[in-house]
Amino acid sequence: MAARATRSASGAASSGDDASRCLLLLLSHDELGVIVDGLADPLQPVVAVALSNTCKGLRTPLRAALEVLQQRHEKAKALCHKVGIRKMQFASSCFQLRTKDRLPWERKGLDANDMATLGMILQSRGLPRLRSLSLMFNGFGDAGLLAMCDSLGHGATPSLRNLSLCDNRFGPAGADALAAALRRGALPQLDTLWLSNNPLGNQGVATLAPVLRKMPALEELNIYLCKVGDEGVASLVENLGKDDFKKLERLWLDENMITRAGGETLAAAVNGNAFPSLMEIDIRRNDMSDDDEKALKAKLKLVWPFGNGDSEDDDDSEDDDAIEDDNEDDEEDGV
């Protein structure tokens, strides 16, 4: 490589062309492509553009890549506009998005195209500070989750800790797309995953279970109101290894279709120390009688979330207060 650079630079110097001033011209198109891909942030395209301006000879080989980057930048700006991030006097909407550590994007009407743009931004590591992403109540369905997850590969969004996908109408197909992204190494530091009120069913949970078990940082898993039955519970808890769900502290399975048999399966796993860090579990309001629920509560007393005499009404009111607080925070964020 050094010899090739020396020969090329020598020849260029004698002819007076751009290679005598820019060693980047010695690289192949493929090598330049790798560099541009690494710099191609759709929220901050100026870096890649600056590279192309290093010398005249780079403009032609980089033209196609920069055109693609420009298209991605326009999509990113359109997404910013849709979620309410506006250009300010001293900061573009994309720059503002890039600085966010929390994105409360609930009820923004995000569709599959928007989700594809979000996935593209996440994969490009354009949100280096992002810790919390809430996409609740958008209704983008399987197509939307697939569009976002299809772009996510190894190391995508390493800063993200909290992801909420509640109330978006995706089922087993969406679960499969999410599982595939997680298997590829996306979202490596995720510790909180909320999937509630989506029709995952037993199939969706079974698809997610193998990868959820192995997530090293997962502490909270919410599968409330997801049409999960005994088979789904079994896929989550049976034959757990010593490193499976190693940090899981809270598990919500309430308002599903779990019977007494599924509850017994869950209790056996919990009491068999399959969840070494578990502090709280909720399996209320499933397909079991009051007596069955009381018996299960007795078996799970160490981790039952309402074992201190609190009434369900009190719990519900606390949840409502929490939702109101979240909404107030969202209004303050202006998005």
- Write down all domains in the chain, each with its CATH number in brackets: 2-72 (no CATH), 101-333 (3.80.10.10)
Q: What is the pLDDT of residue 78?
A: 96
| 323 band by pLDDT with thresholds 50, 70 and 90 | very low
Given a cut of 90, whether residue 215 has pLDDT beyond it is: yes
Distance CA 78, CA 81 (A): 5
Contacts of 131 (CB under 8 A, 6+ apart): 101, 102, 159, 160, 161, 162
Measured between alpha carbons, how far is 36 from 177 in angstroms, rounded to an integer? 28
Q: Residues near 313 by Cβ (< 8 Å), separated by ≥ 6?
A: none
> What is the distance between the alpha carbons of residues 154 and 198, in angstroms, rounded to a whole number?
26
Cα gap 200→208, rounded to integer Å: 10
Ranges of H-type helices in 2-161: 2-15, 29-39, 46-52, 59-83, 93-98, 112-123, 141-149
Closest C-alpha to 47, from 9, 111, 103, 95: 95
Q: Quote the CA–CA distance of 298 and 294 in Å, as a whole number.
A: 6
Cβ atoms of 227 and 201 within 8 Å: the answer is yes
Average pLDDT over residues 325-333: 46
Contact 333, 104 (CB under 8 A): yes
Identify residue 310 by its one-letter amino acid code. Answer: D
Which amino acid appears at position 298 of this protein? Answer: A
Half-sphere CA count of 203, side-chain side, radius 13 A: 8
Whole-structure pTM value:
0.80
Q: What is the pLDDT of residues 131-186, one digit of tens each?
A: 999 999 999 999 999 999 999 999 899 999 999 999 999 999 999 999 999 999 99
Q: What is the pLDDT of residues 61-97, one digit of tens each?
A: 567 777 877 888 899 999 999 999 988 766 799 999 9
Q: Which residue has the higher pLDDT, 209 or 306?
A: 209
Cα separations in angstroms, 314 against 283, 310, 318, 319: 17, 7, 6, 9
